[in-house]
Structure 1
Amino acid sequence: MTHSAIALTGFITWTLLLLALMELIRTQLVLRGKIPANGFTPDNANLSPFMQRLARAHANCVESLPVFGGLLLVSIVTGRASITDPLAYLFLACRVFQSLVHLTSLSATAVSVRFTAFAGQMAIGLYWAFKLLVSL
């Protein structure tokens, strides 16, 4: 398996793990009788600040997956993983780091750090897109 395929699988898995954590906590809240099963909002606005950040971190992954995952997938299916492989793990690390920072804080410093991680993903994605377009 290429580094790109591993990174894509890791990105999907990370997105799924954030969802699983959110649903585990929601299930616990329902079972404890703190929230009715139909009492959740998509953004967890009626829950703790952590749960709101978790919903947003998961949404960030879902929003980014078609774009960045698509680039990884194009590279894999066209036999051009050599373009994405060198930065695939760095991309995934930036993605996970961005989510972890999002889960911990919304302070100005944390938001700046989170943006830096996102900017790294954007730069990598733009590089990949350019290189893939030139090579096709």
Structure 2
Amino acid sequence: MSSSLSPSAVALLGLAAWMLILLFVMVNQRGLLVLSGKMKVNAFAPDGSNTPEGFGRRLVRAHANCVENLPLLFAVLLYALATGNSAVTDGLALLLLAARIFQSVMHLISTAQIFVWLRFAGFLVQLLIVAWWLLRLSGLAG
């Protein structure tokens, strides 16, 4: 086995790492609120809606959005890696990862219209990449 990872493997691990980073930010934010006495440990709304300045809600949604899309992204990348077809996904794998991170960061920054449009653009890039991969992996596209 080679010691260097393919771009597809890096993207797969990067997607998992990004979700972990978002979780650490969430734990840190909530921990600081509890330790500072601003919130009780059992007072957090599951959707983050009762955290200061709305950041908690955006953070929860950014993480949930990653969770919602992870099965699709993982399935295609894992299939390509497991079947020896990572040449199909390698070329755009890092762009997919970057688009996922970009989408989440836009989500964290604001819900102003421009950021929602930017977030959508990042999501659309991911959808188009995965659709292209599925076409190529299925043999429907060259």
TM-score bin (small chain): over 0.9
Normalized against structure 2, the TM-score is what?
0.91
Among 111, 127, 135, the alignment partner of 1:130 is 135
* Aligned counterparts, 1:1-136, within 5 A: 1-48=5-52, 49-134=54-139
1:105 is displaced (CA, Å) by 1.0
Q: CA deviation at 1:108?
A: 0.8
More helix by share: 1
% identical equivalent positions: 44
User: Deviation at 1:51?
Assistant: 1.1
Look up the equivalent residue of 1:91 and give its one-letter code: L
Give the distance between the partners of 2:57 and 2:132, measured in 1 at CA.
32
Give 1:56 shift. 0.6
**Equivalent pairs, count:** 135
More contact order relative to length (CA 8 Å, sep ≥ 6)? 1
Q: Write the distance in 1 (CA, Å) between the matches of 2:101 and 2:43.
A: 29
Which whole-Å deviations, capped at 9, do the CAs of 1:2-42 have from their partners, x for residues lacking one?
A: 11000110111001100110011101111122211111122
**Which runs of 5 or more structure 2 residues have no equivalent in the other structure?**
none
User: Which ranges of structure 1 fall in alignment gaps of 5 or more residues?
Assistant: none
Residues in 2 aligned to 1:55 and 1:97: alpha-carbon distance in whole angstroms:
16
Q: CA RMSD in A?
A: 1.1
